Every structure is written in C-alpha cells, then in structure tokens.
Amino acid sequence: MGRDAGRAAGLSTALFDRAHAAGRVRPDTTAMDVQLVLEACAAIRIPDAGRTRALRQRVLATLLGGLSAEDDRPALPGPPPQPAELSWRWAQQVS
C-alpha cells in the first residue's frame, strides 16, 4: 500500500503541476489539496460499480470547481495540508 500511495502522490503532484503551470488552479492551493480531493472521491463506494463511478465523477466535478482559478474568490481558510499530516495515518497503520 505504501508503494501505491507513493505512486498516487506522484501522479497527483504531476497533475497539479500541469494545472498550476497552465493557470487553471487557485494560486493558494497545493498538490496536497488535490491529493485530498482525489482521496475523498475514492472513498465513495456503493454496491453498484456504475453508480459508484457516476457519483465519484459528480463529486470530483463539484470539488474541482472550488480549485479552479478565478480572480474574485476569497482566500482559502487555514494553511494548506502538510506532508506529515497526509502520511500520518499510514505511519499509524504500520506501527
């Protein structure tokens, strides 16, 4: 699982870097914000695989709207997530 988590973090960072370079995401977001969005979508599970996929896409579209760059948005509350905060639960499961 640790290897998969590392790969997922690398992929979401690459996705964020491309979106950031293109000016598509808020300047006050980080790659770890994107990781949390993707993790939230992955947590959606119901018995019907097709409906799970549809709900994940719907929630992802909703959450990505909040990440999109627009000039008139207020700043996000609080500091961005830190690496240690995101990896904490993995360290807890290994112990």
Q: Give the DSSP letter string of 33-86.
A: HHHHHHHHHHT---S-HHHHHHHHHHHHHHHHHHHB--TTPPPPSSPPP-HHHH
Give me the pLDDT at residue 94, please. Answer: 54
2-29 mean pLDDT = 89
What does pTM read for this prediction?
0.70
Give me the pLDDT at residue 93, please. Answer: 60
Give me the pLDDT at residue 44, please. Answer: 93
Query: Does 93 or 4 have the greater pLDDT score?
Result: 4
pLDDT, tens digit (0-9, with 9 covering 90-100), for 22-76: 998 888 999 988 888 888 999 999 999 999 999 999 988 888 888 888 877 788 8
